[in-house]
Amino acid sequence: MVNRYKGKVRAVEPWNEQNLAGEWGASRMWPNAPAAPPQGVVDFLALMKSAYVGVKSADQSVIVVLPALTPTGVGECWLNPDVRASGGCIDQVKIAIDDRLYLDLLYQVNGGEISRYFDVLGVHPSGYNNPPDDTPEKKTVSSTGFKGHPSFYIRRFQQLREVQQKYGDNKPMWFTEVGWSVTAKPVPGYEYATENSEAQRAKYIARLLELVYNEAPYVTNVIIWNLNFRQIVPEPDEKYGFGLLEANGSPTLSFQCAADFVKSGGKVSQPVCR
């Protein structure tokens, strides 16, 4: 692929959310549980090595992004030795492995070998129904659900940065997917989207960009999920609520606030975006 589109492809993310059974395969996630490291993590390292070598052999200038993990709050039970020893964690880790735990386990394999096979760490921070500055200890909205675990908040990316630095890795970070969903017809699991308004989302996105710009210089690219899925899928689809363009192609307020931030040189200049 890189050879075919040489000069056009600037970056490659070889997989997506490999800590989810739906993306990696339930039978391949942690078949050796509760032993560590998970076989799925070892296999992912092999995939990254192959992908990195292939990409760089075709074009050294192409950036290889370590595929982003998804925040789940599931699978941290492995950190409890008693639960782990009893086998009580096995069902959970066949569904998902907590993003921070997965990243830590990945760095542990072969003495941090993974560091040799990517240029940028991909991250998928998710706000659910929480503002960018909220944390489990600091809640400023009355919305329900998705409140008790740090992976339910945007600032989770800072905890993933701590894992990087724990292993001496200072590579840049890209948000390859970040955003909030707003819809009156959510699919199961996305009910929180009914608690977000477009006016809130616009302010959340503007604040997210401001936060990254001023506080996280190591985050060098932010890709908001998504641009135009409202023109592609019906509203009862999980991708619909994240769209920045309406079904008729007109920009949402969130789109306008993101554009305002860029045009204003890293500032939130419009009152409606604050």
- Provide the b/e sequence for 137-172 (b: ≥16 CB within 10 Å): eeeeeebeebbeebbbbbbbbbebbebbeeeeeeee
Whether 93 shows a pLDDT value over 80: the answer reads yes
121 domain residue, yes or no = yes
Whole-number pLDDT of residue 117: 99
User: For residue range 179-207, what is the model confidence (pLDDT) as tens digits?
Assistant: 999 999 999 999 999 999 999 999 999 99
Please state the rounded mean pLDDT for residues 112-116: 98
- Cα gap 208→243, rounded to integer Å: 17
- Cα gap 43→206, rounded to integer Å: 38
Whether 74 shows a pLDDT value over 90: the answer reads no
Residue 124: CATH number of its domain = 3.20.20
Whether 210 shows a pLDDT value over 80: the answer reads yes
Whole-number pLDDT of residue 51: 99
- Cα gap 225→81, rounded to integer Å: 37
Joined tokens for residue 274: 């604050």
Please state the rounded mean pLDDT for residues 143-164: 95
240 domain residue, yes or no = no
11 domain residue, yes or no = yes
239 domain residue, yes or no = no
128 domain residue, yes or no = yes
What's 71's DSSP letter? Answer: P
269 domain residue, yes or no = no
265: left (phi over 0), alpha (psi -120 to 50) or beta: left
167 domain residue, yes or no = yes
> What integer best gives the mean pLDDT of the chain?
95
- Cα gap 4→273, rounded to integer Å: 42
> Amino acid identity, residue 261?
F
Confidence of residue 83 (pLDDT cuts 50, 70, 90): confident
Whether 260 shows a pLDDT value over 90: the answer reads yes
Which residues span the domain enclosing 49? 2-225
Our count of domains for the chain comes to 1
What's 96's DSSP letter? Answer: B
- Cα gap 127→124, rounded to integer Å: 10
Q: In angstroms, what is the C-alpha Rg of the chain?
A: 19
Please state the rounded mean pLDDT for residues 256-269: 97
267 domain residue, yes or no = no
What's 171's DSSP letter? Answer: -
Confidence of residue 80 (pLDDT cuts 50, 70, 90): confident
Please state the rounded mean pLDDT for residues 92-119: 95
Cβ–Cβ < 8 Å for 17, 77: no
Please state the rounded mean pLDDT for residues 136-157: 94
Whether 34 shows a pLDDT value over 90: the answer reads no
Confidence of residue 85 (pLDDT cuts 50, 70, 90): confident
Cβ neighbours around 45 below 10 Å, total: 17
Whole-number pLDDT of residue 90: 82
> Amino acid identity, residue 53?
V
Whether 25 shows a pLDDT value over 90: the answer reads yes
